[in-house]
Structure 1
């Protein structure tokens, strides 16, 4: 397999973090999305939406959408991060869907805007509402983690891998203060203490 990725991307980091957890050594092919490197004819032939991450399988087939890739790898390698219990599995799916709808657009997009000089008049107008919604998302996570170690209970799951990626770098750009969310801070430390953990900057 080959992972096509942009190193600062939390969506790509999810996949690299899961691979580290599973003990998979997946080669990385890097692209700079700020320079249009995923808009070339060669990349679009692999991924028509021109986005990373993209997981190229040994068969030549390509999988896009970070959370779909997470689910594929967890299923393929029968990871306990995706339990067989249908209620627990549905709970994980809930968090993955929520991440893309309520978390990523407000945490990740704001981080990108502020750290890559990507602001314009429309984004400046949108920013206060995005930050408010992002703080609401972080508060929901913090409330959930108040009485349990991880997002679906006492065991690490795919939900934690997914949400960790952009949550732990939410402060980049200055829009969010994780000190306001002590349970999230504890959860971040718990994940960073795993013996397989790799930082977002690791290739």
Structure 2
């Protein structure tokens, strides 16, 4: 599902970019003196965006221009929000592994996340483990969520995680450190009424 959404997002971004590029290029070309096509909304470089009749058409309605400007401001804010959401990466795609030869190698972030999650999920009393890598590829950090069984003490689970799964991942990737933010949650079990 994520692959489909990513593909749709890229196609929409590409189409929107092509439309904006065509419009902007056309406006620039006409403004620089190129002949305007017959279907173009302006007829030459001296033509204005809004004529006097178009500007004064809604003069009696005092709400018109503030409403237009507010709608344009909302569109600009939505476009900026979309741009930030597209550019911001929630997960680290790859980790730079020190191979000792000065060049290094790249390890897929999802593979390291999966290995840490599997290692942490195999600990006693851990019902489920979710791991996400953040930060830079040369200095990754982990966000770990553990769902604990009722009989496990949180301090014990945290100690096992840091000395087990996180230490294994740090050592196997050749990292100097692997800071982690760990969130622990306990499983709620319903008590059965006897008698």
Greater RCO structure (CA 8 Å; 6+ sep):
1
Decide which structure has greater helix share: 1
Decide which structure has greater strand share: 2
**TM-score, structure 1 as length reference:** 0.23
**TM-score, structure 2 as length reference:** 0.24
